[in-house]
Every structure is written in C-alpha cells, then in structure tokens.
Amino acid sequence: MVVDEKVYSTLMAMSTNPNNKLKDGAKCSVIAGTHAGKSGVVTDIRTSKTGHITLTVVQANGERFKTLGKNVSVQSSRSST
C-alpha cells in the first residue's frame, strides 16, 4: 500500500498531538478517508466492539456523515479575550 507523504506526516502529527482530544461539540477537519477535506462539529462518539473510535460529523449545512476517529483532526479552540 502506498501512502501519500503529506497524509502520513499529518496522521503522525495527529497521533502524537496531545491536544487532539475528541469530544462532543469540538470543531474538526477530516484529514483522511472518504470524507477528507470536509469539516464540521463532532457528535456521537462511540467505540466499536473492535476498539475503533467512530463519530458523526455535522457540517455547517446540516449534512451528517460518520467517520473514524483516526481520520479526524480537532481544530484548536483559541478564544480571544
């Protein structure tokens, strides 16, 4: 299997990033898989019987899709005060 170097480096950064915490309501971008390039809000986080994390992403237009947690990068929520 050939893996794109950019995708590989992004996945490695995501897996070593302690701030990449999935939680309901977090804004995210999908970086791999069928829905790569889409973004939205994380909802319905579950762990499958095989141990994989699955979640639903709700886009701004209301469209929903399911994806794996490993395909998602949580966007940092920096608030300006």
Q: Report pLDDT for 38.
A: 96
pLDDT in tens, the chain (81 residues): 555 666 555 555 555 444 467 899 999 999 999 999 999 999 999 999 999 999 999 999 999 999 999 999 998 765 544
pTM of the full predicted structure?
0.69
40 domain-assigned? yes
13 domain-assigned? yes
81 domain-assigned? no
Distances (CA, A) of 78 to 7, 27, 60: 25, 12, 20
CATH number at residue 58: 2.30.30.30
Work out how many domains the chain is built from and give that number: 1
79 domain-assigned? no
Q: Report pLDDT for 21.
A: 79
Instruction: Compute the distance between CA of residue 79 and CA of residue 71 in angstroms, rounded to an integer.
Output: 25
**Tokens representing residue 65 in the block:** 């899709």
Per the CB < 8 A criterion, the answer to whether 75 and 27 are in contact is yes
Place of tokens 């309901």: 24
80 domain-assigned? no
44 domain-assigned? yes
Contacts of 35 (CB under 8 A, 6+ apart): 57, 65, 67, 71
Domain hosting 16: range is 5-74
37 domain-assigned? yes
